[in-house]
């Protein structure tokens, strides 16, 4: 299950005899009844699909840097392949609404590319001088420390984050995401929904901008969120290795009993 969670895809069990995918496992939030996606088999649902072990030895979250810097710092540490024109258009709107805000972008060594930086700066426009590109690849502990200089994470779309989302939340950084209609566009939202942080889930592009601006404009909200996010994760099924496994075991037993009764 952990390997499947890391890919952002439902787990698929290969039916060697039939030579095709067999069973799809996901949560109802990842695959809602109104989904436009099609699957070879009916998905089997568990309450929560994403699973991540607690990060050992990571730094403390600390206080939001906004309190000392006097301006909000947004960040996105996701793969820049996920950051297309629609994402940059919304980030531009956020930065235009918050003329003192900063944006930090990092993913391995990718931002050492002059072409990539130029593409992003052109899309962001006049606010591009407030973007910090980090081209350095760091070990996990040093990478997590960068979140101590981050107030709010901005999730890309339609291919949203998973590991990057977990790391941000572990470091007390709220993640603003745009809910889509496919599994890949609901990954971060499913994590936030499990943590009862639906106020960070935007339903429309305009809502995405408003949530980001509202968080930045309320310095009293960020410290309380930051102080409690890691504990929320630890108390949730996301960090509980046994509970999701039990859910999958029950689902598999139910499918097996149905097959034994001659059902599809």
Q: Which domains does the chain have, with CATH numbers?
A: 2-51+241-260 (no CATH), 66-236 (3.40.50.2000)
Per the prediction, the chain carries an average pLDDT of 84
**The pTM is what?**
0.82
Neighbours of 135 (CB within 10 A): 15
Distances (CA, A) of 185 to 12, 69, 137, 161: 19, 33, 26, 9
Distance CA 264, CA 260 (A): 10
Tell me what the mean pLDDT of segment 36-61 comes to: 75
Q: How far is CA 230 from the centre of its chain?
A: 15
**In 3D, which of 33, 40, 35, 43 has the Cα closest to residue 10?**
43
Determine which helix (DSSP H) or strand (DSSP E) holds 29, and give its type and residue range: none
Lowest mean pLDDT among 11-15, 36-40, 151-155: 11-15
pLDDT of res. 46:
67
Q: Quick one: 260 exposed, middle or buried, by C-beta within 10 A (0-12, 13-18, 19+)? A: exposed
Question: CA-to-CA distance for 60 and 203, rounded, in angstroms?
Answer: 32
The percentage of residues in the chain with a pLDDT greater than 70, rounded to a whole number, is 83
Which residues have CB under 8 Å from 68's CB, separation 6+?
A: none
Residue 141 and residue 156: Cα distance in Å, rounded? 23
**Tens digit of pLDDT for each residue in 98-155?**
999 999 999 999 999 999 999 999 999 999 999 999 999 999 889 999 999 999 999 9
With bands split at pLDDT 50, 70 and 90, how would you rate the model's confidence at 264?
low
């Amino acid at each position: 299950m952990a390997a499947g969670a890391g890919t952002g895809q439902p787990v698929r069990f290969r039916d060697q005899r039939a030579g095709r995918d067999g069973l799809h496992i996901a949560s109802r939030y990842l695959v809602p009844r109104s989904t436009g996606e099609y699957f070879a088999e009916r998905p089997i649902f568990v309450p929560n699909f994403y699973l991540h072990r607690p990060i050992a030895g990571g730094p403390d979250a600390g206080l939001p840097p906004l309190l000392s810097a006097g301006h909000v710092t947004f960040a996105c540490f996701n793969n820049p392949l996920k950051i297309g024109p629609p994402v940059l258009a919304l980030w531009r709107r956020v930065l235009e609404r918050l003329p003192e805000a900063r944006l930090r972008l990092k993913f391995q060594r990718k931002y050492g590319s002059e072409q990539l930086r130029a593409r992003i700066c052109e899309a962001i426009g006049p606010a591009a001088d407030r973007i910090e590109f980090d081209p350095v690849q760091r070990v996990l502990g040093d990478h997590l420390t960068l979140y101590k200089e981050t107030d709010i994470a901005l999730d890309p779309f339609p291919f949203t984050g998973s590991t990057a989302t977990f790391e941000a939340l572990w470091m007390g950084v709220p993640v603003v995401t745009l809910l889509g209609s496919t599994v890949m566009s609901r990954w971060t939202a499913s994590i936030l929904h499990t943590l009862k942080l639906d106020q960070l889930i935007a339903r429309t592009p305009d809502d995405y901008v408003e949530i980001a601006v509202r968080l930045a404009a309320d310095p009293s909200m960020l410290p309380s969120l930051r102080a409690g996010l890691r504990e929320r994760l630890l108390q949730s099924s996301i960090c509980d290795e046994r509970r999701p496994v039990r859910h999958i075991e029950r689902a598999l037993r139910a499918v097996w009993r149905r097959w034994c009764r001659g059902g599809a």
